[in-house]
Amino acid sequence: MTSSHLPVGILGGTFDPVHLGHLAAADAACTALGLAEVLFIPSHHPPHRRVEPLASGYHRFAMLALALADRPRFLVSDAELLASAWSYTSVTLRRLHEAAFDALQLFFITGADAFAEIATWNDYPAILDLANFAVVSRPGHPAAGLPEQLPMLRDRMAMRQGEGADHAAGKAGGTRIWLVQAVTPDVSSTEVRRRARAGEPLDGLVPIAVERYIERHHLYR
């Protein structure tokens, strides 16, 4: 991971476990915005959502490493797992600034479901100036629906369809909210955990190496 001025994607999440939807969202953001790399940052589990069998940070990291092994532009970061407590996205972005990344070169990738809640995030609205946002459609949550859902942010939004590498567009002003209209598989970690618990196959939902890992380590039982 370098801090040259190339555009870099950041994909935060619990990744419990990583699945093909995450990889497709990162691919779509890369294609639409010409990203040089995507850094996947697994979070500490937020303590309030512990109601079912879940994987430790070690297992979540291992599954990400397996999922990204043959994708040289995709990297996994231990930054949030090494921190002593669960970390806000705004804190992670500020740490990247301290590591010499520029707000204009950072693209925080989220699904449209997650971004719809942006007004509840810590450090909103200042967080919008800490990075560009690359908001990718998720089945049932089209990115194109966001200007209507979040009218107060409409002026900061720009639509991306197909390919485009003129990430310099952000240089004209400040950071932007890039709406990436793409088709990603209808997969969630919740559904993967449900199937693993029921002993059902996971093919088509997670990379094969991740499926084997979940079976071998009896995760989510």
Write out the residues near ligand ATP by the rule CB under 6 A.
13-16, 21-22, 25, 110-111, 113-114, 136, 138, 184-185, 187-190
> Is the CB of 114 or the CB of 169 nearer to ligand ATP?
114
Beta-sheet strand order (sheet of 157-160)? 74-76, 37-42, 8-13, 106-111, 132-136, 177-180, 157-160
Distance CA 33, CA 27 (A): 10
> Is the CB of 31 or the CB of 188 nearer to ligand ATP?
188
Q: Helix, strand, or coil here: 29?
A: helix
> Is the CB of 2 or the CB of 204 nearer to ligand ATP?
204
Q: In one letter, which amino acid is 14?
A: T
Q: Helix, strand, or coil here: 50?
A: coil
Distance CA 55, CA 40 (A): 17
Distance CA 100, CA 80 (A): 18
**Could you tell me the smallest distance in angstroms from the CB atom of residue 113 to ligand ATP?**
5
**Could you tell me the smallest distance in angstroms from the CB atom of residue 186 to ligand ATP?**
6
**Could you tell me the smallest distance in angstroms from the CB atom of residue 42 to ligand ATP?**
8
Q: Which residues contact 58 (CB under 8 A, 6 or more apart)?
A: none
* Helical ranges in 5-164 per DSSP H: 20-33, 57-68, 79-82, 89-98, 112-115, 146-149
Contact (CB, 8 A) for 156 and 126: no
> Is the CB of 59 or the CB of 138 nearer to ligand ATP?
138
DSSP assigned state of 34: T
**Could you tell me the smallest distance in angstroms from the CB atom of residue 128 to ligand ATP?**
15
**Could you tell me the smallest distance in angstroms from the CB atom of residue 76 to ligand ATP?**
13
Provide the token pair at 26: 């990162």
**Could you tell me the smallest distance in angstroms from the CB atom of residue 183 to ligand ATP?**
9
> Is the CB of 45 or the CB of 94 nearer to ligand ATP?
45
| Residue 168: φ, ψ to 5° | -60, -15
> Is the CB of 167 or the CB of 193 nearer to ligand ATP?
193
